[in-house]
């Protein structure tokens, strides 16, 4: 071959080779890009486990819980709230669109009892829920949440639908039932990684203790028993363990007090030990001054002192790489400067990205009396001011970024623009007649550190329900670990007046002195079987109730001034068969205005 031709052939041959090598490089690069994209998209795949302070998915990629609480299954509606206004799929679509990746779903053990019939559902908007039991509706919500890429944490919020319990058991729902229900749920959702784990019991508080050694009150030991029982059925679940309220250096429920379920100081000396490694996540709750005015809110250094408070009670666990920490509840109406400062400081503390703390905001529902929700009162529109605090710390599981925050959160020290609220619309009956909208302004008693009360009741006139007088007799019991001034306590007895007459209250007898007992009548609207309540309060002369003490009998009587009859048959708080003192969750107790016992109608 001629030298010039050979040279041209070499140039052509080498050029072809370069093109082929370049194409191969592009193919490899594209494959790597696709692989990386698939990995990013698959973030959160399968069941999750822990490593140090992080939660990892099935591919060992770090993930972060960044979600919302949606309550209702723990109440006497036996279903997630708001289905009287909207379809559950519509709700889940909106939750997903806002960038949340997880829902904490509270329930009560009573949900699984025969006769716990779901109510407060507009079936014209939820046709596929017609005729289902509470747990079958839970199945529906979980299945659709999985289709949307959302994860579920089941939260045993309370034993029965009436009220929160300090301990993980009651006489009606013993520890054996608590554990057996958890095992049932672990088996039911086994193989379905939409459900990532179990929040064992909501907000343990005094007499619950951490590591004190008493099997009846030691929450750390009870959490181990339940956690190991669950993992024996479903070893893939995460086990979420909340703290207590008060912790002393000797491990007993005294000393330093914090929010119910929020104090995890005891983990440093006595961590929870589970039989399956890398399944434990500790959980705390935290709230602002509007829920309860803790001492640290009046510190001259507020809000700069908050990080130290959080480090001490729960943050240290993640910062020392002991285990992941999940802030399972925090919420506010943002109505005060203090609350704005608290939420701004807390979201900064929780942090952005995968290295931040895990969290679920309280709550989705607007009918949380202390905090309101992400939804406005119309159950449709979003409180954008709240949402703007949370969007920057969200974590997408599908490789996409959450929507940009709008508007910018109100800066601490400024007054937020009020969010317009609309009354909850009554469902339009286009199919089966919907159940009237339940009004449940405070479904969960507010956590008040170190304070726990119970009200015993007996009917004072057991002869019949049609009388010219109503005679509720009560006892107030301090079930906490510190003395409580009775002047800080009020009791509400809910009833129907059956007319519009003026009324008179009399304290017939009180062990603490009738002169120290006062009563007033308060009209209400939108309640089930109640258009009035009698509020019983106490003067400073009533003194205080020591830990474990009973006020003794307080015999109340009231009548209409024209002495016409009441019909007590439909009164919320009335129980004509309760002729000896026993707890009544339909008579509510308040400490400094915050609900601590019972359920409002």
Whole-model pTM? 0.68
Q: What's the mean pLDDT in 384-409?
A: 71
Give the per-residue pLDDT at 562.
Answer: 83
Q: Give the number of other Cβ atoms within 10 Å of residue 556's Cβ.
A: 23
Give the per-residue pLDDT at 164.
Answer: 84
Question: Is it the case that residue 283 has pLDDT exceeding 70?
Answer: yes
Q: What's the mean pLDDT in 499-518?
A: 89
Q: How many structural domains compose the chain?
A: 2
DSSP H or E segment with residue 526: strand 517-527
Kindly state whether residue 398 falls inside one of the protein's structural domains.
no
Question: Is it the case that residue 40 has pLDDT exceeding 60?
Answer: no
Contact 65, 360 (CB under 8 A): yes
Q: Mean pLDDT for the chain?
A: 85
Question: Is it the case that residue 170 has pLDDT exceeding 70?
Answer: yes
Q: What's the mean pLDDT in 128-152?
A: 97
My answer on whether 355 and 496 are in the same domain is no
Give the per-residue pLDDT at 274.
Answer: 98
Higher model confidence: residue 105 or residue 18? Answer: 105
Give the per-residue pLDDT at 455.
Answer: 95
My answer on whether 342 and 479 are in the same domain is no
Higher model confidence: residue 319 or residue 423? Answer: 319
Count Cβ neighbours within 10 Å for each residue of 196-213 and write b for 16 or more, e otherwise.
bbbbbbbbbbbbbbbbbe
My answer on whether 349 and 263 are in the same domain is yes
Share of the chain above pLDDT 70, in %: 83
My answer on whether 481 and 351 are in the same domain is no
Contact 407, 560 (CB under 8 A): no
Question: Is it the case that residue 571 has pLDDT exceeding 70?
Answer: yes
Domain of residue 472, residue span:
453-597
Kindly state whether residue 33 falls inside one of the protein's structural domains.
no
Task: State the pLDDT confidence band at 298, using cuts at 50, 70 and 90.
Answer: very high
Angle between helices 175-188 and 219-233 (to 10 degrees): 30
447's tokens: 């956590």
Please give the C-alpha separations between residue 313 and each of 51, 106, 118, 297, 401, in angstroms, as whole numbers: 21, 24, 38, 16, 32
My answer on whether 163 and 305 are in the same domain is yes
What residues are labeled active site? Answer: 203, 329
My answer on whether 362 and 467 are in the same domain is no
Give the per-residue pLDDT at 249.
Answer: 54
Give the per-residue pLDDT at 395.
Answer: 95
Q: What's the mean pLDDT in 96-104?
A: 97
Task: State the pLDDT confidence band at 405, using cuts at 50, 70 and 90.
Answer: very low
Question: Is it the case that residue 575 has pLDDT exceeding 60?
Answer: yes
Question: Is it the case that residue 452 has pLDDT exceeding 60?
Answer: yes
Give the per-residue pLDDT at 448.
Answer: 62
Task: State the pLDDT confidence band at 451, using cuts at 50, 70 and 90.
Answer: confident
Give the per-residue pLDDT at 122.
Answer: 95
Q: What's the mean pLDDT in 9-38?
A: 39
Kindly state whether residue 148 falls inside one of the protein's structural domains.
yes
> In the listed set 368, 393, 418, which residue is the last one of a domain according to the structure?
393
Question: Is it the case that residue 464 has pLDDT exceeding 90?
Answer: no
> In the listed set 341, 360, 393, which residue is the last one of a domain according to the structure?
393
Q: What's the mean pLDDT in 58-75?
A: 96
Question: Is it the case that residue 191 has pLDDT exceeding 70?
Answer: yes
Residue 284: CB partners within 8 Å, gap ≥ 6? 242, 243, 259, 261, 262, 263, 264, 313, 314, 325, 326, 327, 328
Tokens 């024996």 belong to 232
Contact 83, 125 (CB under 8 A): yes
d(CA 180, CA 158): 15
My answer on whether 248 and 121 are in the same domain is yes
Q: Chain centroid to CA 232: how far?
A: 26
My answer on whether 200 and 303 are in the same domain is yes
Question: Is it the case that residue 8 has pLDDT exceeding 50?
Answer: no
Higher model confidence: residue 499 or residue 187? Answer: 187
Q: What's the mean pLDDT in 221-237?
A: 98
Q: What's the mean pLDDT in 438-461?
A: 68
Task: State the pLDDT confidence band at 400, using cuts at 50, 70 and 90.
Answer: very low
Q: What's the mean pLDDT in 64-91?
A: 96
My answer on whether 388 and 473 are in the same domain is no
424's tokens: 């909850």
Beta bridge partners of 209: 218
Question: Is it the case that residue 7 has pLDDT exceeding 90?
Answer: no
My answer on whether 139 and 280 are in the same domain is yes
Kindly state whether residue 13 falls inside one of the protein's structural domains.
no
Q: What's the mean pLDDT in 29-53?
A: 65
207's tokens: 């007499």
Kindly state whether residue 44 falls inside one of the protein's structural domains.
no
Angle between helices 88-97 and 134-147 (to 10 degrees): 40
Give the per-residue pLDDT at 221.
Answer: 98
Higher model confidence: residue 129 or residue 546? Answer: 129
d(CA 274, CA 234): 13
Q: What's the mean pLDDT in 266-277?
A: 97
CATH at 199: 3.20.20.80
Higher model confidence: residue 142 or residue 8? Answer: 142
> In the listed set 375, 393, 411, which residue is the last one of a domain according to the structure?
393
Question: Is it the case that residue 513 has pLDDT exceeding 70?
Answer: yes
Question: Is it the case that residue 402 has pLDDT exceeding 80?
Answer: no
Give the per-residue pLDDT at 145.
Answer: 98
Give the per-residue pLDDT at 398.
Answer: 67
Contact 44, 397 (CB under 8 A): yes
Kindly state whether residue 474 falls inside one of the protein's structural domains.
yes
Task: State the pLDDT confidence band at 255, using cuts at 50, 70 and 90.
Answer: confident
Q: Angle at the Cα of 441 (from 437 to 443), degrees rounded to 5?
A: 100
Residue 344: CB partners within 8 Å, gap ≥ 6? 303, 389, 409, 411, 412
Kindly state whether residue 553 falls inside one of the protein's structural domains.
yes
Question: Is it the case that residue 407 has pLDDT exceeding 50?
Answer: no
My answer on whether 349 and 460 are in the same domain is no
My answer on whether 378 and 250 are in the same domain is yes
Most confident of 336-350, 515-529, 552-566: 336-350
Kindly state whether residue 418 falls inside one of the protein's structural domains.
no
Higher model confidence: residue 22 or residue 395? Answer: 395
Q: Which of 221-225, 426-430, 548-552 has the lowest mean pLDDT?
A: 426-430
Please give the C-alpha separations between residue 143 and each of 15, 77, 88, 99, 199, in angstroms, as whole numbers: 56, 21, 11, 19, 19
Question: Is it the case that residue 522 has pLDDT exceeding 60?
Answer: yes
CATH at 521: 2.60.40.710
């Amino acid at each position: 071959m001629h030298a010039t031709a050979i040279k041209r052939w070499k140039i052509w041959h080498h050029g072809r080779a370069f093109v082929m090598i370049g194409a191969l490089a592009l193919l490899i690069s594209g494959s790597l890009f696709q692989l990386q994209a698939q990995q990013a998209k698959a973030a959160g795949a399968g069941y999750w486990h822990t490593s140090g302070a992080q939660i990892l998915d099935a591919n060992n990629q770090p993930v972060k819980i960044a979600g919302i609480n949606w309550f209702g299954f723990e109440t006497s509606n036996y279903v997630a709230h708001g289905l009287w206004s909207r379809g559950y799929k519509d709700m889940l679509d909106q939750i997903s669109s806002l960038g949340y990746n997880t829902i904490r779903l509270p329930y009560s053990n009573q949900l699984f009892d025969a006769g716990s019939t779901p109510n407060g559902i507009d079936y014209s908007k939820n046709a596929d829920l017609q005729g289902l039991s509470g747990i079958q509706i839970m199945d529906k919500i979980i299945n659709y949440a999985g289709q949307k890429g959302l994860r579920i944490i089941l939260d045993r919020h309370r034993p029965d639908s009436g009220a929160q319990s300090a301990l993980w058991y009651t006489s009606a729902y013993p520890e054996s039932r608590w554990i057996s229900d958890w095992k049932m749920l672990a088996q039911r959702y086994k193989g379905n990684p939409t459900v990532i784990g179990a929040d064992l019991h909501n907000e343990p508080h005094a007499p619950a203790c951490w590591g004190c050694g008493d099997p009846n009150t030691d929450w750390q030991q009870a959490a181990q028993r339940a956690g190991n029982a669950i993992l024996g059925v479903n070893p893939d679940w995460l086990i979420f363990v909340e703290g207590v309220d008060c912790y002393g250096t000797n491990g007993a429920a005294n000393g330093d007090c914090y929010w119910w379920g929020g104090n995890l100081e005891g983990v440093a000396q006595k961590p929870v030990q589970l039989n399956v490694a890398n399944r434990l996540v500790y959980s705390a709750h935290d709230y602002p001054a509007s829920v309860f005015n803790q001492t640290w809110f009046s510190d001259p250094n507020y809000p700069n002192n908050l990080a130290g408070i959080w480090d001490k009670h729960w943050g240290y666990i993640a910062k020392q790489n002991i285990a992941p920490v999940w802030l399972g509840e925090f919420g506010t109406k943002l109505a005060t400067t203090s609350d704005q400062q608290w939420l701004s400081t807390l979201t900064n503390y929780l942090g952005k990205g995968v290295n931040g703390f895990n969290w679920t905001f309280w709550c989705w529902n607007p009918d949380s009396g202390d905090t309101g929700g992400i939804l406005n009162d119309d159950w449709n529109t979003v409180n954008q001011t709240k949402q703007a605090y949370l969007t920057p710390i969200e974590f997408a599981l599908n490789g996409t970024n959450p929507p940009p925050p709008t508007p910018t959160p109100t800066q601490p020290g400024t007054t937020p623009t009020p969010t317009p609220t609309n009354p909850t619309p009554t469902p339009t009956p286009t199919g089966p007649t919907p159940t009237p909208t339940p009004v449940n302004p405070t479904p969960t008693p507010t956590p008040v550190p170190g304070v726990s009360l119970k009200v015993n009741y007996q009917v004072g006139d057991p002869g019949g329900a049609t009388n010219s007088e109503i005679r509720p007799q009560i006892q107030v019991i301090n079930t906490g670990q510190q003395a409580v001034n009775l002047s800080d306590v009020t009791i509400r007895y809910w009833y129907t007046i059956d007319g519009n007459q003026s009324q008179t209250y009399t304290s017939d007898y009180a062990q603490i002195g009738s002169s120290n007992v006062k009563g007033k009548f308060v009209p209400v609207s939108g309640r089930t079987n109640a258009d009035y309540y009698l509020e019983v309060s106490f003067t400073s002369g009533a003194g205080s109730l020591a830990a474990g003490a009973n006020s003794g009998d307080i015999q109340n009587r009231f009548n209409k001034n024209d002495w016409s009859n009441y019909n007590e048959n439909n009164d919320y708080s009335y129980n004509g068969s309760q002729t000896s003192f026993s707890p009544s969750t339909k008579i509510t107790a308040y400490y400094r205005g915050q609900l601590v016992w019972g359920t409002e109608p």
